[in-house]
Amino acid sequence: MVTHEEILNIANLAKLSVSPEELDELTKDMNEIIGFADTINAACPQASDFDNINGLSNAFREDIVVPSYDREEILKNAESRDDGYFLVKKRM
């Protein structure tokens, strides 16, 4: 059983705020989904720890500098910026 407290703890890790009204519904949903996920508990997997899906290895890049993006571009989508920085104002 997933408890209210666990939901709040997970929500905090995921940086989501959960209102008291949402909490009941979310807890119910999560219990349903976790219950469904629990069906895997009946399985005893034979395969050892799964590696990456396409079996590739050593995809490397050479250490050669490519010019960075124009700062205007980098900051273009930021809601708030100042003096070349991304800015998070203290409060709004």
Partner 1 sequence: MTNYELVCGLETHIELSTNTKIFCSCTTEFGGDPNTHCCPVCIGLPGTLPKLNKRVVEYAIMAGLATNCEISRVSKMDRKNYVYPDLPKAYQISQYDMPLCKNGWVELSNGRKIRLTRIHIEEDAGKLVHQRGGTYVDYNRGGVPLIEIVSEPDIRSIDEAKEYLEKLQLIMRFIGISDCKMQEGSMRCDVNISMRPMGTEKFGTRTEIKNMNSFAHMAKAMDYEMNRQIDLLQSGEAVVQETRRYNEEDDCTESMRGKEDAHDYRYFREPDLVTIQVSDEIVNELKDKLPELPQKKAKRYMEDFGLPEADALLLTQYRKISEYFEAASKGVKNPKTVANCMIGQIFSRLEGDGAKENFAVKVTPENLNALVRLLDDGKIRMNLLKTTLEKMLDTGKAPSELISENDMGGVDPGALKAACEQAIAANPNAVSDYLGGKEKALKAILGAVMKATRGRADAMEVEKLLVQLIKK
Partner 2 sequence: MESRIKKLREQMASGQISCLELTKTYLEAMDKENQKINAYVRSTPEVAIETAKRVDQKIASGEPLLPLEGIPMTLKDNISTKGIETTCCSKILKGYTPIYNATVWDLLQKQNAVLLGKTNMDEFAMGSSCETSCFGGALNPHDTSRVAGGSSGGVASAVGGNLAVYGLGSDTGGSIRQPASFCGLTGLKPTYGAVSRYGLIAYASSFDQIGPITQSVEDAAIVYDAISVYDEKDSTSRGKVGAPVCETLKNSIKGRKIGIAKEYFDGIRDDVNKAIQNAIQVYESLGAQIVYFDMPSLKYSLPVYYILACAEASSNLGRYDGIRYGYKTGHYADRNEMVCKTRSEGFGKEVKRRILLGTYVLSAGYYDAYYKKAQNLRGELVKAFEDAFQKCDVMLAPTVPMTAFPLNFTAKDAVETYLTDICTVPVNIAGLPAVSLPCGFDAAGLPIGMQLIGNRFCEATILNAAHQYETAVGDHVFRSAEMGVRL
23, 7 contact by CB (below 8 A): yes
Out of partner 1, partner 2, none, which partner does residue 82 contact, by CB within 5 to 8 A per kind?
Answer: partner 1
Residue with tokens 């708030």: 80
4, 27 contact by CB (below 8 A): yes
Least distance to partner 2, CB of residue 87, Å: 8
Q: Footprint of partner 1 on this chain (CB under 8 A)?
A: 9, 12-13, 15, 51-54, 56-66, 68-69, 71, 74-75, 82-90
Tokens of 48: 């050892």
Least distance to partner 2, CB of residue 26, Å: 7
Identify residue 37 by its one-letter amino acid code. Answer: A
Question: How many angstroms separate the CA atoms of 23 and 6, rounded?
Answer: 11
Out of 33, 71, 82, 84, name the contact with partner 2 by CB under 8 A. Answer: 33
Which of 47/65 has CB closer to partner 2? 47
